[in-house]
Amino acid sequence: MSARQTSNWISLSDMMTGLMLVFLLIAIITISQVSERESKRTELITEFENTRLEIYEELEKSFGDKRSEWGIEISEDLTIKFENPDVLFGYLSSNITPSFREILNEFIPSYLDIVNSDKYSEKIKEVRIEGHTADWSDYLFTIKLSQERSNAVLAYIFSSDYFSSLPSENKEKIKFWFTSNGLGNGRTLDSEGEFTFESKGDVDVKSRRVEFRIVTNSQELVEQIIDNLKNNN
């Protein structure tokens, strides 16, 4: 092999080595970016799960021993169901019974203390008060009745002495978060507490209920993850 050929071969080898280093660098950067995105998604999901678990544990601590006395169920989706229909309202009425008023008088301060905690200020999107009725042939009537019942509960919260004692900032936050929702008999429950639409079971009396549901900002979390994926693809 001549000196010129040797020189050309060395130059070609140097070029190939350089290209390999460039490809290796690109691969390292790509892997690093993917790892960073995965780490960020994991961090966001972990934060959401920790928030949900923390709120659930506070609900359990505050109201867990009231299950039998109040006729409530506490779910991990941050819902408290008041399921004793005879305690809540009169038949086809939206007037809160004296018994339910007594329960709410004890429930409201503890519940508002939880949702008003500073650590959840950026984590809670909505607190839904849902009215549900038992099965009835006139669906629109059940919507109207359940809406009136959820309105009555919300109004009772706003008229409570505890709400009146809160600082203005906390009152505004509660007004921003709390909504009243009448769902009629669209989500009746069977004896196992499952939606009859899904289970095809018989409608149980616990369908006549009031639910307090804390909605976290999980939707924003999902949107943020999707945006991150779009921006990095």
Confidence grade of residue 18 (pLDDT, cut at 50, 70, 90): low
Lowest mean pLDDT among 52-61, 130-139, 184-193, 212-221: 212-221
Rg of the chain over all Cα atoms, to the nearest angstrom: 28
Q: What is the pLDDT of residues 73-120, one digit of tens each?
A: 999 999 999 999 889 998 889 999 999 999 999 999 999 999 999 888
Please tell me the predicted confidence (pLDDT) of residue 72.
96
26, with CB counted inside 10 A (0-12, 13-18, 19+), is exposed
Q: What is the pLDDT of residues 201-218, one digit of tens each?
A: 998 888 999 999 999 886
Please tell me the predicted confidence (pLDDT) of residue 99.
96
Q: Which residue has the higher pLDDT, 153 or 20?
A: 153
CA 78/CA 92 separation, integer angstroms = 28
Please tell me the predicted confidence (pLDDT) of residue 3.
47
Going from N- to C-terminal start, the domains of the chain cover 43-222
Q: Does the domain at residues 43-222 carry the CATH identifier 3.40.50.720? A: no
For the segment 131-143, the average pLDDT, to the nearest whole number, is 92
* pTM across the whole model: 0.77
Q: What is the pLDDT of residues 179-189, one digit of tens each?
A: 999 999 999 99
Confidence grade of residue 69 (pLDDT, cut at 50, 70, 90): very high
